[in-house]
Amino acid sequence: MLKYCIDRLRPPRPFCWETFILLSIFSWLLSAFSWLLVPPAENAYHFTHTGGLIFFVVGTAWWQWERPITLFGIKIGPWIVGLLLSLILFDDLPENWRHQAIVVTWPLLTASVRSVPKFFRGRLLPSWPPISIRKELTVMFLFHVLVSLWLQFGFVMNQWLREYPTLLAEDFTRSSFAISRGIEAPEIPQGNIMINEMEAFLREQIDGQQWPRANQVISGLLENRIDIEDAVKKRLPEIEENEWWTLRGTVIQRQAGFGITLLAIFDGVPLVSEDYYLEKSCEISRTFRQRGPASSRPPAEALDRAEVECGPASDRKSGPIPSQGQGFD
Going 248 to 249 to 250 to 255, the CA torsion angle's sign is: negative
Residue 291 has a pLDDT of 52
Residue 277 has a pLDDT of 86
Residue 182 has a pLDDT of 53
Task: Report the alpha-carbon distance of residue 302 to residue 132 in Å, rounded.
Answer: 93
DSSP 128: P
Residue 146 has a pLDDT of 93
Look at residue 287 and give its three-state secondary structure.
strand
Assess contact for 248 and 329: CB atoms under 8 A: yes
**Strand pairing partners for 277?**
265, 317
Distance from the Cα of residue 146 to its chain's centroid: 23
Task: Report the alpha-carbon distance of residue 58 to residue 83 in Å, rounded.
Answer: 13
Residue 2 has a pLDDT of 54
Look at residue 300 and give its three-state secondary structure.
helix
- In this structure, the number of other CB atoms found within 10 A of the CB of residue 116 comes to 12
Look at residue 310 and give its three-state secondary structure.
strand
- In this structure, the number of other CB atoms found within 10 A of the CB of residue 163 comes to 14
Residue 44 has a pLDDT of 82
Residue 274 has a pLDDT of 64
Burial of 225 (0-12, 13-18, 19+ CB in 10 A): exposed
What residue segments make up the domains of the chain, in order of their start? Answer: 2-163, 190-328
* Rounded (5°) CA angle 208-209-214: 120
* Rounded (5°) CA angle 49-54-55: 95
**Strand pairing partners for 254?**
257
Task: Report the alpha-carbon distance of residue 267 to residue 259 in Å, rounded.
Answer: 25
Task: Report the alpha-carbon distance of residue 222 to residue 16 in Å, rounded.
Answer: 81
Residue 183 has a pLDDT of 56
User: Which amino acid makes up residue 124?
Assistant: L
Query: Tens-digit pLDDT profile for the chain (329 aa)?
Result: 556 555 656 666 777 777 888 888 888 888 888 888 777 777 887 788 888 888 888 888 877 777 777 777 777 888 888 888 888 888 777 877 888 888 899 999 989 888 887 777 666 677 787 888 888 888 999 999 999 998 898 888 878 777 777 776 666 656 655 555 555 656 677 888 889 999 999 888 888 888 888 888 888 888 888 888 888 888 888 888 888 888 888 888 888 788 888 998 887 765 555 678 888 999 888 886 655 555 455 555 556 788 889 888 888 887 788 777 788 87
Residue 244 has a pLDDT of 84
